[in-house]
Amino acid sequence: MSCTPNGQAPNELTGQDWATWYCNFDVVRSRPAEDPNDTVFVAHMDTGLVESANVGPSFLETRFSANLIEGKSREPWTPLDELPEDELGGFVNFNNHGTATYSVVAGSSPIHAALDGISGIKYVPYRITTFVGLKSDELTYLCEALGHFTERLLNEPGGGPAPHVLALSLGSRFFSQKKVEKLLRTYARQGVIIVAAGGQVPFGPAWREVDVVFPANRPWSVGVGAIDRTGEPNQLGFYDEAELDVVSPGINIRITRAYEPATGSVARVVGESTAGSSYSTQFVAAAAALWIRHHGKTKLRMKYGLGKTVSAFIHCLRASAGPANRGWPERTLAGQLNVDCLLDQPLPDASGLELP
């Protein structure tokens, strides 16, 4: 391949964040879609959004959004929805989490986010939790909500377009829940690319033996870890490459924070993303949407059916990733996301792929 290495493209966009430049999103902005009439839908499963011109309203598709934390859709439901106070009294602002994670790929002025200027990709936001530091009871509720969501889109006509990519910057170290695991794997076999955060641990050195959180640690999902602008991993936690498929920027990147959820007041700030894989996940989910857009939904379905599309993407993602930074003790890191190389990566033969 003759694609651009990580961090070596000309950085000519004023105000562009290093993360967008580092992964070569700017290099692929002018690439046409295989089918200009196609729309790739990304399900953004998080704490919901706060509406603002700074969170890329042109990328939002709210007709099929739902507030599942209340157990039902809200009619009408929009991203402008008052968020509850977080449970730790402001110590962790996870009630801003959905706005912040979405903003790194679809935020607008004053920075150039990953998908700026690219058509044919829409995000459908869902509120499935109010707190991403999941305790066991909250995870149980999350799994029920996620299961309800999955069943509705798979089995109920008129439930809205099934997403082609599921961006999940949430997870748990301790529980998987058989019901939701079965549903998610079924979803993967329907051709939905599930991109999930590897997570962080709040203690110990980065090379401590820890587990990637569920569902990022499953072979049918894309597990993502966070790096900084030097390629070093997030010092709050990193993991064996056997369970991570790729790493991408997630430390000291520009994000939107919803400081006053009740009023929708937002501000563009730098350096808020200290616990990186939530943000890294969104870059990879955006790359997955671009990959589908580039090759075309119809072309991929004809080549792989439904089930092997996910395996084909994971193959291309791993094969195209930039060299890992191998300076960390006793660790071999997954390769670095490179969108330009991903789109140039030849599609693998279907016969060599397994079902998720």
Low-confidence winner among 130-139, 183-192, 231-240, 292-301 (lowest mean pLDDT): 130-139
Q: State whether residue 267 is helix, strand or coil.
A: strand
pLDDT for the residue 53: 63
Distance between the two ends of the chain, CA-based, in angstroms? 27
Q: For residue 5, which of 286, 338, 342 has the smallest C-alpha distance?
A: 338
What is the pTM assigned to this prediction? Answer: 0.86
Q: For residue 142, which of 93, 177, 100 has the smallest C-alpha distance?
A: 177
pLDDT for the residue 84: 47
The H-assigned helical ranges of the chain are 18-22, 97-106, 136-155, 178-189, 277-295, 297-304, 308-320, 339-344
Q: Identify the band that residue 261 occupies on the pLDDT scale cut at 50, 70 and 90.
A: very low
Instruction: Label residues 237-254 b or e (16+ Cβ within 10 Å = b).
Output: bbbebebbbbbbbbbbbb
Q: Identify the band that residue 288 occupies on the pLDDT scale cut at 50, 70 and 90.
A: very high
Burial class (CB in 10 A: 0-12, 13-18, 19+), 157: exposed
CB proximity list for 18: less than 8 A, separation 6 or greater: 229, 249, 253
pLDDT for the residue 102: 86
Contact 238/328 with Cβ under 8 angstroms? yes
Q: Distance (Å, rounded) from C-alpha 230 to C-alpha 4?
A: 17
For residue 197, what are the CA distances in angstroms to 260, 291, 316? Answer: 26, 19, 19
Residue 284 has pLDDT above 80, yes or no: yes
Tell me the pLDDT tens digit for each residue of 6-45: 877 666 555 567 888 889 998 898 899 999 998 999 988 8
Computed over every residue of the chain, the mean pLDDT equals 74
Average pLDDT over residues 320-342: 75
pLDDT for the residue 250: 85
pLDDT for the residue 270: 44
Domains and CATH numbers, the chain: 18-346 (3.40.50.200)
Q: Which two tokens stand for residue 221?
A: 């999902």
Tell me the pLDDT tens digit for each residue of 83-104: 444 443 443 444 578 888 888 8
Residue 262 has pLDDT above 50, yes or no: no
Low-confidence winner among 144-153, 192-201, 213-222 (lowest mean pLDDT): 144-153
Tell me the pLDDT tens digit for each residue of 142-183: 666 566 566 656 665 555 667 899 998 887 766 556 767 887
Q: Identify the band that residue 211 occupies on the pLDDT scale cut at 50, 70 and 90.
A: low
The DSSP secondary-structure symbol of 66 reads: E
Q: Which two tokens stand for residue 193?
A: 């690319």
